[in-house]
């Protein structure tokens, strides 16, 4: 049976990994070790992990390395599958080929480019592990972590990589210009709009996403909207905790209100299923309106009146932000 070659970290990488550990621990995460990391060819890795994705954009970190996790047999109440901790494999052949292909675009030596590239890919894959596995208040993203949620996962992986390379000219150039596709639909460039946000904010939102992903059946797109919002954490948490998922808000009835608030809610761009907005989407629309300061006291009263008129009387809890936060 093939055994992959263990990766030997450089002194520079060990220092940066120590910095990452401190950053996450300062924000409540528990990290007592890092994952297994290997450095071998893609061919060898495919023999050990036959389900490795064969076709992926060459100008992305995940073409040059991968965070491999497996699904477990357990399921939560929402029927989300559990996952197991993953390992990281950096593909030696692809990293070397990439450097040869790009060498003419840099003034540095081939070995310097290769060392820098390997470092950037390592930080990206560590970003996957950091968002997935380290515990926070006794839980992690064991349940609900899915390979299909590419935007959310790549945002955090790319952000962690960016935090690690910021200020290092060569490393930052590799990440921003050569490992961030310009194609609008690519999940690998979605982090760029978030680099100005505080690390504390992004890590607190990671905690929220982990906590509510299954119970509220969050989508990749909705999670990304949350990451972009400039919201107070307790406001978002209250929206999650007090939403009544069974409530359905009829879009036609919403339109018939004919007031500015109704149109602002519709303008948030939430997807509609069968002509209806779900309560979760409505709550996030309200949160966003509050964050953008588009609601004054009069308009908040209209929101409460809207709830009374259109929310299910038997199960209505609504989102009483005006009472909870004195808004």
Question: Are 205 and 159 in contact, with CB atoms under 8 Å apart?
Answer: no
Task: Specify the pLDDT at position 317.
Answer: 37
Task: Specify the pLDDT at position 102.
Answer: 94
- List CB contacts of 258: < 8 A, sequence separation 6 or more: none
Q: What is the mean pLDDT of residues 30-37?
A: 97
Question: Are 250 and 274 in contact, with CB atoms under 8 Å apart?
Answer: no
* Pairing state between β 65-68 and 87-91: antiparallel
What pLDDT band is residue 217 in, cutting at 50, 70 and 90? confident
Q: What is the mean pLDDT of residues 66-84?
A: 86
Using CA atoms, how far apart are residues 80 and 190, in angstroms rounded to an integer? 25
pLDDT, greater one: 279 or 116: 116
Using CA atoms, how far apart are residues 292 and 214, in angstroms rounded to an integer? 28
Is the same domain home to 137 and 268? Answer: no
Q: 203, 237, 265 — which closes off a domain? A: 203
pLDDT over threshold 80, residue 122: yes
R_g of the chain computed on alpha carbons: 22
Count of domains for the chain: 2
Nearest CA among 312, 307, 198 for reference residue 248: 312
Tokens standing for residue 173: 């150039």
Task: Specify the pLDDT at position 59.
Answer: 87
> Does 320 map to a domain?
yes
What pLDDT band is residue 109 in, cutting at 50, 70 and 90? very high
Task: Specify the pLDDT at position 160.
Answer: 98
Residue 29's DSSP bridge partners are 136
Task: Specify the pLDDT at position 71.
Answer: 86
Nearest CA among 244, 312, 246, 249 for reference residue 276: 249
pLDDT over threshold 90, residue 312: no
Tens-place pLDDT, residues 228-279: 876 655 555 555 555 433 334 444 544 444 444 444 444 443 334 444 445 5
Using CA atoms, how far apart are residues 282 and 290, in angstroms rounded to an integer? 12
Is the same domain home to 50 and 163? Answer: yes
Task: Specify the pLDDT at position 28.
Answer: 96
Nearest CA among 72, 74, 34, 70 for reference residue 52: 70
Which of 36-40, 180-184, 304-308 has the lowest average pLDDT? 304-308
Give percent above pLDDT 70 in the chain.
Answer: 69
pLDDT over threshold 60, residue 183: yes
Domain that holds residue 111: 11-203
Is the same domain home to 268 and 311? Answer: yes
What pLDDT band is residue 226 in, cutting at 50, 70 and 90? confident
N residues, the chain: 327
Count the Cβ atoms, other than its own, within 10 Å of residue 222.
18
Is the same domain home to 110 and 177? Answer: yes
Task: Specify the pLDDT at position 74.
Answer: 83
Question: Are 47 and 33 in contact, with CB atoms under 8 Å apart?
Answer: no
> Does 60 map to a domain?
yes
What is the DSSP code string of 180-202? S---TT-GGGGGGGGTTS-HHHH
Q: 203, 219, 251 — which closes off a domain? A: 203
pLDDT, greater one: 114 or 294: 114
Task: Specify the pLDDT at position 306.
Answer: 56
Tokens 């979605």 label which residue?
A: 190
- List CB contacts of 120: < 8 A, sequence separation 6 or more: 61, 161, 164, 165, 171, 174, 175, 179
Task: Specify the pLDDT at position 270.
Answer: 38
Task: Specify the pLDDT at position 278.
Answer: 52
Is the same domain home to 304 and 261? Answer: yes
Is the same domain home to 246 and 189? Answer: no
Task: Specify the pLDDT at position 51.
Answer: 86
> Does 4 map to a domain?
no
C-alpha distance across the termini of the chain, in Å: 63
pLDDT over threshold 80, residue 289: no
Is the same domain home to 74 and 130? Answer: yes
pLDDT over threshold 90, residue 13: yes
Is the same domain home to 238 and 169? Answer: no
Task: Specify the pLDDT at position 14.
Answer: 98
The CA distances from residue 317 to 177, 247, 279, 282, 298, in Å, are: 48, 10, 11, 13, 21
What pLDDT band is residue 303 in, cutting at 50, 70 and 90? low
Nearest CA among 3, 86, 99 for reference residue 52: 86
């Amino acid at each position: 049976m093939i055994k992959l070659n263990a990766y030997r970290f450089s002194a520079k990488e060990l220092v940066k990994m120590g910095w990452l550990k401190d950053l996450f621990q300062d924000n409540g995460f528990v990290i007592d070790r890092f994952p297994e990391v290997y450095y071998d060819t893609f061919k060898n890795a495919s023999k050990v992990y036959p389900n490795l994705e064969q076709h992926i954009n060459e100008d992305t970190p995940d073409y040059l390395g991968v965070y491999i996790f497996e699904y477990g047999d357990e399921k939560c109440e929402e029927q989300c599958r559990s996952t197991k901790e993953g390992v990281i494999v950096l593909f030696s052949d692809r990293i070397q080929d990439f450097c040869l292909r790009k060498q003419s675009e840099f003034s540095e030596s081939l070995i310097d480019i290769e060392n820098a590239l390997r470092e950037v890919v390592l930080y990206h894959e560590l970003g996957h592990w950091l968002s997935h596995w380290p515990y926070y208040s006794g839980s992690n993203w064991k349940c609900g972590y899915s390979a299909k949620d590419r935007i959310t996962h790549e945002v955090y992986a790319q952000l962690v990589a960016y935090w690690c390379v910021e200020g290092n000219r060569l490393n930052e150039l590799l990440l921003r210009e050569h490992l961030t596709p310009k194609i609008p639909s690519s999940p690998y460039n979605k982090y760029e709009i978030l680099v100005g946000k505080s690390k504390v904010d992004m890590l607190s939102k990671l905690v929220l996403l982990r906590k509510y992903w299954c119970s509220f059946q969050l989508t990749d797109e909705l999670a990304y909207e949350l990451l972009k919002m400039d919201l107070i954490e307790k406001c978002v948490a209250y929206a999650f905790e007090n939403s009544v998922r069974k409530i359905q808000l009829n879009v036609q009835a919403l339109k018939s209100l004919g007031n500015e608030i109704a149109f602002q809610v519709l303008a948030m761009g939430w997807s509609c299923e069968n002509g209806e907005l779900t309560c979760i989407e409505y709550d996030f629309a309200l949160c966003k309106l509050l964050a953008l300061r588009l609601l004054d006291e009069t308009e908040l009263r209209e929101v409460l009146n809207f709830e009374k008129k259109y929310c299910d009387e038997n199960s209505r809890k609504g989102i009483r932000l005006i009472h909870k936060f004195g808004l």
